Structures are given as C-alpha cells and as structure tokens.
Amino acid sequence: MRFIARYAKDRGRVFEIATVYDTKVIKEQVHKEKPVIKTLSHEHPTALWFERKMQDDFGIIVEDAFDKRPLVHQEYFDTNLHPMRKDFKEKELKKSKFHPYDYEVIKGEGVFQVSVGPIHAGIIEPGHFHFSQAGEKILHLEVRHFYKYRAIEKMVEGKTLQEAKPIIERISGNESIAYQICLRDIMLQASKQELPQALQKRHAFLLELERVIHHLTDLGFIPNDAGFSAALAFCSKLAEDARRKMKELTGHRFGFGAIDFETKFIDTTSLHEWLDNLQKSVEFFEDWILDIPSLWDRLDTTGVLSLKKAIKYDSVGVVAKASGVKIDRRLNPFYLQHGFEVAYENSGDVAARFKVRIKELKNSLQMMHNFLEEKTTSFKLNSLQDGEFMSYSESSIGELFMAIDIKNGVIERFFVRDPSFMNWQALHLMMSNDIIADFPLINKSCDLSYAGNDL
C-alpha cells in the first residue's frame, strides 16, 4: 500500500487518528488522558513528519518512533501548548523558554557543519538546511522548515467552505488552482452533485495552465543553477506570457477565485493560436537545450533518487516519476480520453526531473487544446450536507490531498497534505556522493513548496 497521510481529530474525550493509504483509510481512537499511538515510520519513513506534527498540535505520544523532536514547535514555542485541540482559544502565542533544536549531524575527524537558512539570499520562504560535510562532499542533510506557523488548519475552523475558500486557495501560490479543485470536489461530494463537463473542461484547462506556468519557470531555473542563464531568460518570457494568460482568463495572475460554478465565454480561437505558438517555442527550447553537452554534464547523475527509495518514501509528482514511479492523479477516464499520458524517466537524477517536466509540458499543451470549447451551461450548487470528505488533485508538484469534516454547516476539521510534505523528506536521499555546490541545483529540480509545507 502507498502511504498518503496521517492526521488527528479532536473528538472531545478522545482523539481520532486517520491513516490514509491509496486503497483504504484506517481510523483509531485514543483517550486524551493517555494519547499513545504506534509509529508507522519504520515501514513508511515519511509518516514521521505527520506523527511529529500530531505530537506538537495535539500532544499525542508516538511510541517507538526513532525521532520525537518537535516539528512545528520552534525554539521559543511552549511545548505544553497544543493549538489544534478544541479547547485551545489563544489568539496569539506567547514567547517561551528557549529550547535548542538537536540537529542530526555526523561527527568525526575532518567533518564540519554548514547551516544554510532559514533566511536566504533569494526571495523565498524561510527554510533551514543543515549539512554535515567532509570537504565539498555532502555526508548528510537535515531539512527543517515550519518557521511560519500560519495556523491555517485552526483559522478555517467554524467557517463555511465558501468563507474558507479565499484562505485555502492562497495556501501555496504555485498550486492555487489545484487547491481550489480539491475544495471544489469536496463541495460536490457534500452537495451530492456532479460537475457538468463544460465546467470540468474549463477547470482542467486552468489546472494545466498552472502546470505550464510552473514547469516553464523550473525549466529556466534548473539550467540557470548550472550556470546556463540563457535558458532562464527564454523560459521566463514564456512563463510570464502564460501568467498573463491566467490573469486574462481568471482576473488574477495566480488564478485566485478561478474555480467556481459559473460558466464564462472563452475565445477558443485565440487560445488555440496561443497554444500553437507556445508549442513551437517549447519544441525550439527542447531541441536547443538537449544539444548542450556541458549542461548535461552537470544534470546527469546529479541528485539521484533510486526507484527503490522513491517507493519507500512514498514520493509523488515529478520527483517520483523521474525515478520510474508511474503515479499521477490524472490517471482517470476523463483525463485519459482527453489525451493524458504519464511522463516518466528512470534515472532519478536532475536530468530526469528536467526531462519529465518537458514531457508533461508538451502533454499539457496537447490536452489544453482538447479541453477548449465555447459551450456554456448553468449550474447551481446545492446546500452542503454534513459529513467527512476527502479529495485529490495533481498539482504541478504532485499529488495534493485534502480532507474536510463539515458539522452544522461549517468546517469542523480541515487537513491538507501538500505533495511537498512528502518530497521534502526524501530530499536528503538525493545528496549522497554530491557536493554542496550542487545542492541548489538538486533542490530546484524538485521545486518543492515552502508555503504549502508550512501551514
């Protein structure tokens, strides 16, 4: 079974633990007086972050875990505070005694430590990378994030789904459409309705447009981190054009508010023409970039994640597919009948992740042609019923999972697992036998979200 997520719910006298696999969901209850659960991390290493988060958020004790350090509790966070409990009503967190974080390090003669972050020279979210080094060679990397505890899970409790939508769609800017589609599907489940195909096609078009934007961005930045800045200039122009197309279609460059139940007229003729021109530019870029031996000397065999480790760490998205794992939430009848094909490579290195993006980009453009139609339809969402609902979408980074419990018409529990929450935990596996100068290149080839990871 493929592990997807593990999270807790406050049920009053007990905590309910939901463990989500690709084929089933297992629920268990533990009493609040002695909230102890068994770890899954020996079989599924990526369960560890979920369990450490439950420890911080709810005070749940995880037995037999090989790592019981705080995850979202930073050094000045009161370890006795568990903000996801229903009885936690504080509006702000008070500064507590400093608790030093015990990083995983390798010690020995000639071994030294290098700390990168959490504040970076680039304009990115805070994130810390702690290296154990022997000269230039990386011996070990520990990734530590969660510097911006935005409390989104707590923030949306008590809100209707419509009230929470502007918050949810802004969790991670480069996956806004994907987040909105997960929320849309939960609304449809709760209203017991199916989406008309005209709307389904429009939403799928926007999801692929979001994927195009971010794949183009990455296809520029990856060569740039290897010293080939011309690729960044070329792809940035294409990505900006696509970003402007998103604004033209939705009213916002990031597509905020784009996934709704209103039908709008689309000028399909001009969009087909724009897609054709973009296709020619991508084909030119592919021919150009594949014929630069000095670039591929940097990308080939760098940052390798083997198929075995990709499966063991339940990796998703481009990271998984570049290692030969054929996993994608678009493997369904709707997408298949509109031309979807799983893009994958087998070498698991930076080069493979680059090539998967090119394949996905070309396939997205093909499908976007097929999604275009001028037909409009009327659709009104029924009232939402109470219940427990789960949904998925395939963001530009990978599989996105969302779960919402509705009680008395408002959100009782909101949980989301960004694909980055899985893939960040596999990043250290890609560093073996590489030098620290290649870290930015390897990291960028995964294109993981800081914001989506840090709720």
Residue 122, pLDDT > 80, answer no
CA pair distance 54, 59, nearest whole angstrom? 7
Report the C-alpha dihedral over residues 337, 359, 316, 293, rounded to 10 degrees: 170
Burial environment of residue 147 by CB neighbours within 10 A (0 to 12, 13 to 18, 19 or more): middle
Specify whether domain 159-446 bears CATH 3.40.50.1950. Answer: no
What share of the chain in percent tops pLDDT 90?
89
Residue 381 in contact with residue 189, Cβ under 8 Å? no
Reported as a single tens digit per residue, the pLDDT across 401-440 is 999 999 999 999 999 999 999 999 999 999 988 999 999 9
**Is the distance from CB of 412 to CB of 405 less than 8 angstroms?**
yes
Report residue 310 as tokens: 């990709």
* 160-183 burial: b if 16+ Cβ within 10 Å, else e: ebeebbeebbebbbbbbbbbbbbb
Confidence class of residue 263 from pLDDT cuts 50, 70 and 90?
Answer: confident
The answer to whether the CB of 451 falls within 8 A of the CB of 152 is no
pLDDT digits (tens, 9 = 90+) for 3-39: 999 999 999 999 999 999 999 999 999 999 999 999 9
Q: Give CA–CA dist 368/221, Å, rounded.
A: 24
CA 41 and chain centroid, separation: 20
Distance separating alpha carbons of residues 441 and 227, to the nearest angstrom: 10
Per residue in 203-230, pLDDT (tens digit) is: 999 999 999 999 999 999 999 999 999 9
In tens, the pLDDT along 358-369 reads 999 999 999 999
Domain extent listing, the chain: 1-102, 107-147, 159-446
Model pLDDT, residue 420: 97
Distance between CA atoms of residues 12 and 18, nearest Å:
16
Percent of the chain at pLDDT > 70 equals: 100
Locate 172 and state its tokens: 């991670």
Over residues 385-396, the pLDDT tens digits come to 999 999 999 999
Select from 200, 203, 199, 270 the least CA-distant residue to 241: 270
Q: Which tens digit of pLDDT belongs to each residue from 324-342?
A: 999 999 999 999 999 999 9
Cα separation, 222 vs 354, whole angstroms: 8
Question: Which of 348, 431, 441 is closest to 137 using CA atoms?
Answer: 431
Other Cβ atoms closer than 10 A to 250: 20
Sign of the torsion angle spanned by Cα atoms 14, 74, 446, 322: negative
DSSP conformation class of 449: -
User: Residue 138, exposed/middle/buried by CB under 10 A (0-12, 13-18, 19+)?
Assistant: buried
Mean pLDDT of 117-131: 86
